[in-house]
Structure 1
Amino acid sequence: MQSQARSILEAAKHGPLQSLTDRELDIREQPVTIYPRPASVRAWVRFGPEAVRVEAKVMRSTPLAAGIEFRAGDQTFRCWVWGNAVSLVQQT
């Protein structure tokens, strides 16, 4: 996890965390599911032009997007990403 935190914080130097826009999410027309027990996922996120894959929790979703949360050090990041940028972590 320490290497992930370093990767996230290094990527964050390249720009702000990007998130899908309200227009892309189409929240007024698309249903939103909120998860009381968030699932562990791996997701591609972008800080400015820099992409990094993170271990995250999916907190909510629409049919096409996922609202995720992830941490690096004492910082918590939240953003919306396209659903195909996310894969479930296999529980062992």
Structure 2
Amino acid sequence: MERSKKKIIVAAAAVMALAAAGCTQQETNRAAVGGLVGGGLGALTGGLISHTPTGALVGAAVGAVGGAAIGAATTPKPKTCTAYDSNGQAVKVAC
């Protein structure tokens, strides 16, 4: 396969991953979004550096794992408030 065709395929994969990432709710799916974006950018980077499909696959795998890990780590914790039930006991509820 020609070098320019490989670049086009890798770039198309990255664009599709970024487009798919835009279709999710980022607040609740940060790990999924991070995995998609990381995988797409990893495939692009791996393909451009190695000039091989194997490099693109390795880049996609590493990028997806790294992106998902970062997305999960940066997900904000749900906020809770204190409310009182009918017996006067304090309970945690979503704000």
TM-score band (shorter)?
Answer: under 0.3
Task: Return the index of the structure with the highest Cα Rg.
Answer: 2
- Which of 1 and 2 has higher RCO (CA within 8 Å, sep 6+)? 1
Structure 2 length-normalised TM? 0.24
Q: Normalized per residue, which structure has more helix?
A: 2
Q: TM-score, normalised by structure 1?
A: 0.24
